[in-house]
Amino acid sequence: MGKEKVVLAYSGGLDTTAIIPWLKENFDYEVICCCIDCGQGEELDGLEERAKLSGASKLYIENIIDEFCDEYIVPCVKAGAVYENKYLLGTSMARPVIAKKLVEIARKEGAAAICHGATGKGNDQIRFELGIKALAPDIKIIAPWRMTDVWTMQSREDEIEYCRQHGIDLPFDAKHSYSRDRNLWHISHEGLELEDPENEPNYDDLLVLGVSPEKAPDEGEYVTMTFEAGVPKSLNGKEMKVSEIITELNALGGKHGIGIIDIVENRVVGMKSRGVYETPGGTILMEAHDQLEELVLDRATYDVKKDMGNKFAQIVYEGKWFTPLREAIQAFVDVTQQYVTGEVKFKLYKGNIIKAGTTSPYSLYSESLASFTTGELYDHHDAEGFINLFGLPLKVRAMKMQEL
């Protein structure tokens, strides 16, 4: 009978490297590392060596970029899912697909447990664990940062020292920098001066994906995109898969200072936290999609879809991806997207996305109706009766008030 196995969500950073010997020492597990590539762009070279050197028996590197784009990002774009008016869910959307992969590997390896390095104060512990519970209720979850009786390390120095004691001497440094999370859609920054909302972010040090609007070119740049049934299909006349479109848009958006937000958000665990998010390509994609939807959706559907989009954002933010409610709202959204097909043109300029024309074969905009000349469909006299009935409740109430 061999040792029980644990699958560790592994990034190659200091935290998850220190967790390897810790799991072996405290639980006597065989540790299988799993690095999930959602487009973090960080070097994945040398990870295998590092994981083995740290005592892992195996390392999986799973590229899930296309699955992430097609099955997680696209539904959020279609829904117009934005959390608290600003946050485009960059970290939130990636967690369920990571959880799903961890479960797949745990099943393949016959592992008894899954371990993650998320802290006990954040949202990510919830997202990972709700995903794992929904897909594999029988698998045990280990969260070292919450196990303060067994996990006694308090600082980066402690972790470096712990690794050294266990024969792992890696070039980690002890300096505290921003806490970041990166994938193809965005990068988030927390910590340092951002911990106090009174401080302006130090954008020159902080930005990774682009420049601030002040440093963007003085020349605007036109971009054309097409969508079919709500899904982006081409960029500047070139058909590409979604992951390629996002990659290109990231470069364009970064260059023109687009998609930088500074937000104090309400975490699921009840506290407010301050972060700066860079989502250059995502911001453009969401805006372009909205630009097309304006033409195609009728007023009543548009109205309900806005509420549903907010609800969808909250569900994703709270880690409830694998739920009947998410599936149901996504089904509603898919019906609304049937005719969101057409071409969108806009100009990028110093942090702005400026409309430059939209066309769709399904556009509900009628020039003859909207113009000031009288057309067949609209008789000005009809408006009088409409206003009389539409305004009746106000008028009745006003008469009653006068009487009193």
- Which active-site residues does the annotation give? 15, 95, 124, 179
Alpha-carbon distance of 182 to 91, in angstroms, equals 8
* Residue 155 marked in a binding site: no
Which two structure tokens, joined as six digits, stand for 385?
A: 């009766």
* Residue 60 marked in a binding site: no
* Residue 58 phi, psi dihedral angles, 5° rounding: -160, 150
* Residue 16 marked in a binding site: yes
* Residue 127 marked in a binding site: yes
Which two structure tokens, joined as six digits, stand for 249?
A: 């848009």
* Residue 310 marked in a binding site: no
* Residue 371 marked in a binding site: no
Contact 55, 21 (CB under 8 A): yes
* Residue 342 marked in a binding site: no
Q: What region does 191 belong to: left with phi over 0, alpha with psi -120 to 50, or beta?
A: left
* Residue 270 marked in a binding site: no
* Residue 117 marked in a binding site: yes
* Enclosing H/E stretch for 107: helix 90-109
* Residue 360 marked in a binding site: no
The beta strand positions in 47-154, using DSSP E, are 58-63, 113-115, 140-142
Contact 142, 27 (CB under 8 A): yes
* Residue 366 marked in a binding site: no
**b/e sequence 156-186, b meaning 16+ C-beta within 10 Å:** beebbebbeebebeeebeeeeebebbbbbbb
Query: Annotated binding site for ATP, which residues?
Result: 9-17, 117
Indicate the annotated binding residues for L-citrulline. Answer: 87, 92, 123, 127, 179, 188, 265, 277
Binding site membership for L-aspartate: which residues? 119, 123-124
Instruction: Detail the residues annotated as belonging to a binding site.
Output: 9-17, 87, 92, 117, 119, 123-124, 127, 179, 188, 265, 277
